[in-house]
Amino acid sequence: MYKKLFIPGPTHVRDEILLAQAAPMIGHRAKEYQDLQAEVTPKLQKLLYTNQRVYLYTSSSTGVMEGSVRQASTKRVLNTACGAFSRRWYDMTVRNGIPCDLLEVPLGQAITPELVDEALSKADYDAITVVMNETATGIMNPVKEIAALVRQKYPDVLLLVDAVSCMAGVKIEFDAWGLDVCLAGVQKCFALPPGLTVCAVSDRARERALKVPNRGYYFAYDQMDKRYDKHQTPATPAISLIQALNKQMDDILAEGLENRWARHLEMAEIVRAWARKYFAIYGDERYLSHTVTNVSNTRNISVSQLNDELGKRGAMISNGYGDLKDVCFRIAHMGDLQVSDIKWLLEQINDILGL
Ligand SMILES: *Cc1c(COP(=O)(O)O)cnc(C)c1O
């Protein structure tokens, strides 16, 4: 049976979007493709409140996380971690032989500007990585406040933001906040099938990258820039996904960005209220995600049995991530899911568990 996905990626994709991928194929050096990229890019710039470059990478987010940290630093990187995805960026930095240090907080806690300030003051850093929405724990880091601190006190430090599970679900003002890299795969809040990553890059970050000799090739901004003004990518892109993204961006802008942010928060508040009533919310409640709620499994239910039953009714939620596998479960409320979907899901869970 078809299951509506309430997992934190891939998430539910509307039929119109699935069908938009079935448009006839076009050549990636043909005018039809140039027109497509020229159309979709300004829509993405609007989404991110930026006048700077937005690249389309045919890759999952992990690839772009690696590509961006590889071209961010000629000195030392501070990686921040508050869960499995942010920790991944540290592992990538280490594996690429880039000098780095880890600022890590216990699961369920947030990276704060105070912690970042203390850590950045200890060595000569020129880049920092932050995951905005830590999908593994349901914590949303205060990136705007972190950016304000970094821009004010550490002007040479590039701020790289993984917004994979919140871009297109929460407001991210790339230029006003002073971010340098902000990336997200499209299978989460964009509600598209996986395979494409949207990445905004500041002019400052593009200049820095030119000074990094071992910056790689596929993700290198200077390679992307060779074709950027022609509205092309250096390698063959996932054309069908970009066609679907173009359609989805029209729908996102037609919904209205402020409406979209408000809908995500409303869905989050409904799930949080439910979680508080019947279970508990995991982590520091001052920093809860708007797009995924991590519920403490205080009733010790079998999440896999619950999911089996939900499956019969056409829905799927997610267990806890990594160390939290059995102690939590996660309900995603992102992308094109509506308040009515969330209410329906919670009714099904209550019915199955007899709550
Ligand atoms: C899903 C996710 C990733 C990894 O995305 P892939 O598309 O699997 O590469 C990275 N960071 C965060 C915060 C995520 O939620």
Instruction: Please report the DSSP string for 19-77 in residue order.
Output: HHTTSPP--TTSHHHHHHHHHHHHHHHHHTT-SSEEEEESS-HHHHHHHHHHTS-SS-E
For residue 197, the cross-strand partners are 57, 185
User: What pLDDT digit, counting tens, does each position of 209-218 carry?
Assistant: 999 999 999 9
State the pLDDT at residue 326: 85
Strand pairing of 127-131 and 158-162? parallel
State the pLDDT at residue 114: 98
Examine the domain organization and report whether 49 and 146 are in the same domain: yes
Atom of ligand 1 nearest to the CA of 9: 1
Q: Which of 253, 273, 289 corresponds to the end of one domain?
A: 253
DSSP state of 111: -
165 lines ligand 1 (CB under 6 A): yes
State the pLDDT at residue 17: 98
Among 61, 182, 290, 292, residue to substitute to test ligand 1 (most atoms within 8 Å of Cβ): 61
Contact between 213 and 71 (Cβ < 8 Å): no
Examine the domain organization and report whether 132 and 158 are in the same domain: yes
Q: What is the mean pLDDT of residues 198-206?
A: 98
- 67 CA → ligand 1 middle, Å: 14
**How is residue 197 written in tokens?**
């990553």
The band of 304, judged by pLDDT with boundaries at 50, 70 and 90, is very high
Examine the domain organization and report whether 237 and 298 are in the same domain: no
Atom of ligand 1 nearest to the CA of 135: 15
State the pLDDT at residue 95: 98
How many domains does the structure of the chain reveal? 2
96 lines ligand 1 (CB under 6 A): no
Examine the domain organization and report whether 267 and 169 are in the same domain: no
Examine the domain organization and report whether 262 and 169 are in the same domain: no
Contact between 73 and 213 (Cβ < 8 Å): no
Share of the chain above pLDDT 70, in %: 100
- 165 CA → ligand 1 middle, Å: 7
State the pLDDT at residue 1: 75
Atom of ligand 1 nearest to the CA of 134: 13
Examine the domain organization and report whether 236 and 108 are in the same domain: yes
Contact between 68 and 160 (Cβ < 8 Å): yes
Q: Which amino acid appears at position 91 of this protein?
A: D
- 59 CA → ligand 1 middle, Å: 11
57 lines ligand 1 (CB under 6 A): no
Atom of ligand 1 nearest to the CA of 185: 7
162 lines ligand 1 (CB under 6 A): yes
Examine the domain organization and report whether 191 and 265 are in the same domain: no
Among 58, 162, 172, 196, residue to substitute to test ligand 1 (most atoms within 8 Å of Cβ): 162
CA dist 325 → 62, 153, 233, 319, 321 (Å): 21, 39, 39, 6, 5
For residue 318, the cross-strand partners are 330
User: What pLDDT digit, counting tens, does each position of 218-265 carry?
Assistant: 999 999 999 999 999 999 999 999 999 999 999 999 999 999 999 999
Cβ count near 72 (within 10 Å): 25
- d(CA 116, CA 109) in angstroms, rounded, equals 14
Q: Any idea what the CATH number is for the domain that residue 281 is in?
A: 3.90.1150.10
State the pLDDT at residue 236: 98
Query: Which candidate, 125, 168, 166, 124, places its Cα nearest to that of 143?
Result: 166
- d(CA 319, CA 305) in angstroms, rounded, equals 11
Q: Which of 253, 269, 300 corresponds to the end of one domain?
A: 253
Examine the domain organization and report whether 129 and 92 are in the same domain: yes
Q: What is the mean pLDDT of residues 36-49?
A: 98
163 lines ligand 1 (CB under 6 A): no
Examine the domain organization and report whether 249 and 260 are in the same domain: no
Examine the domain organization and report whether 212 and 107 are in the same domain: yes
- d(CA 143, CA 223) in angstroms, rounded, equals 28
Residue 83: domain span: 16-253
**How is residue 335 written in tokens?**
């992308």
- 355 CA → ligand 1 middle, Å: 33
Number of alpha helices (DSSP H) and beta strands (DSSP E) in the chain: 13, 15
- 130 CA → ligand 1 middle, Å: 13
Q: What is the mean pLDDT of residues 16-35?
A: 97
CA dist 50 → 10, 44, 45 (Å): 26, 9, 5
Examine the domain organization and report whether 270 and 296 are in the same domain: yes
61 lines ligand 1 (CB under 6 A): yes
Q: What is the largest CA-CA distance in the chain?
A: 61
Is 28 a residue whose pLDDT tops 90? Answer: yes
Contact between 353 and 313 (Cβ < 8 Å): no
Q: Which of 253, 275, 301 corresponds to the end of one domain?
A: 253
Examine the domain organization and report whether 336 and 245 are in the same domain: no
**How is residue 91 written in tokens?**
């592992």
**How is residue 211 written in tokens?**
């000074």
Q: What is the mean pLDDT of the chain?
A: 97
9 lines ligand 1 (CB under 6 A): yes
Strand pairing of 280-281 and 292-296? antiparallel
74 lines ligand 1 (CB under 6 A): no
